[in-house]
Structure 1
Amino acid sequence: MSYVPMPPSVPMPVANQPKNGPGTAGFVLGLIGLIFAFIPIIGIVAWPLTILGLIFGIVGTLRANRGQASNKGLAITAVVLSAIGLVICVLWTAAFGKAVNDAANGMPAAALTSSVAAPDHVQTTSPNLNDAAASAAATAPVEPPAPTTSEAPKFPPQVEQARASAQNYLSFTAFSRNGLIRQLSSSAGDGFPKDVATQAVDSLSVDWNAQAVKSAENYLSFTSFSCSGLKQQLSSSAGDGFTKAQAAYGAGQTAACK
């Protein structure tokens, strides 16, 4: 009986692991959310981005652990970026909430107006005056005393509250006129009526050029901009909302335009 050699077994090709789609999506969302979290006013957009990035990053990590996808490191990075962005969003919200509460609790009560009563007129006559002189003196008109200035507030109570809130915001970060009105009147901000927010902001003495410089320096402290890009960020409605002249002045005082 002859021995027939068996052909060597051919190893089955190993299928490539599919790409980690959730991990990639989580990384992109987490990175964008982290950048937006540093920007005032539009930082509220970072909330859904970081939450979605965190969810996708966790899903991508679990898939990579089960061998169903590759790029485990990218998914873990997505979780880290999204978590950092979410923490920054929480800190911003807590800081703004504290500023608004301090403004509401620190408002003084409205001063009560005091009425000034005219003193009773006492007419004394000299025994040496005749009857005609005494009668003329008695019927002479008495001028009322000059009224004292009232200490009542210049603005309605709601405007006073909006003014205090606006001053707290300006002490915390930089705002343009339009950006501050939007923050005071938006449902995501203080929720004041638009006319109340406008009157409150316009009643303050604010150097908007200085605010533009401060905002430009804030941007450059965490990322880089070209001169034209910085001006556009400062003046666009999606950015700070400064006027073109204010944006040009603010950017011109920074290293980006020198």
Structure 2
Amino acid sequence: MSDQPDSPVPHNPWAPPADVPPQAGPAAGTSDGADTDPPLPPLAPGTDRYADGFLYGHQGPPPGGPYPPPPGGAYPPPPYEQFPGAGGGYPGYPGYPMGPYGGWTPSPRNGYGLTALVLGIVGAVLSVMCFFAVLGVPLGIAAIVFGIVGRRIAKRGESTNPGQALAGLILGVVATVLSAAMLVVIGVSVGNGWLDEGDGMRVPDQGRYGSPLSVGETAKYDGGLQVTVADVRDPGPAQAPKSTEGSDSAMKFTVTLKNTGSRTENLDYADVSAYADEAGDNPLKDISGQDGFSGQLAPGAERSLDFIVVVPDPSTDSVEVDVSPGDSYDYAYWDLPVPVPAD
């Protein structure tokens, strides 16, 4: 095997220059010693002669140095580093990202999805409320529309909240369906009279607060139930209470309930109260010894009870009596004169 000469090492123009001992005489690259730089001092080992902007007063590296001057004597700047999909930048710094509109990235259009979610929530809540169910339909439809638009915008990449748009769309459907169902139920109820307060109204409008009935008059209800307060009298010395001053008095009256309708009435929630004050805040004490009406009242039957109430103020000339035959009935009112105690 014959010896081959070593291949020459390619010249690297970017490698730092090797330390060369200074030489006396004319500077390299000149024909004589005129206008030459002074001799350079020796460098410490490892020192780059051209670091920190070409030391020792040189305006550029000598011919054949690490940066060979091009024709014209100008040194080109280092090439820009290019990055895929971006503009040019300085070495070590990536370029700015390019948006869909030439470098400007618009704000996401999240308003449609958020509006759909809010409308859907409000519509779903109102849809289960009897008096506000009518508002659930338009709110639900609006939530559906905004949800569909928001989903389309998200698919085009112009918004970042597709989940909110989908949730608003679903809630809009729920609100619309529930509201429509509630309105149907209300309509059927009104048609069948389920919401009619017929059992709680007097026919005609008798014995209202502020315009009471008189002794012996009857309040009539739609279901056929009738209430009469009559026979107002002094209970007598045996039943009339006496305070230490002897100023208390009492009055006795009879309440009669009659069922003229076709169904049995429950009297467990019937209420009888008497008041001597105009505001009706303090009911008079009942000393009759019975607990009031209770049980069932069959069609065609009637029941009467006597009530004795204490009247503390002897100057009271009338007492208001309120009677409700059940929890589904309105109160009827009577104005009863306080009888004069017998001697």
Q: Tell me, yes or no, whether TM beats 0.5.
A: no
TM-score by length of 1: 0.38
Q: Name which one, 1 or 2, has greater alpha-carbon Rg.
A: 2
TM-score by length of 2: 0.29
Task: Compare relative contact order (CA 8 Å, sep 6+) and give the higher one, 1 or 2.
Answer: 1
Write 1 or 2 for the structure with the bigger share of strand.
2
Write 1 or 2 for the structure with the bigger share of helix.
1
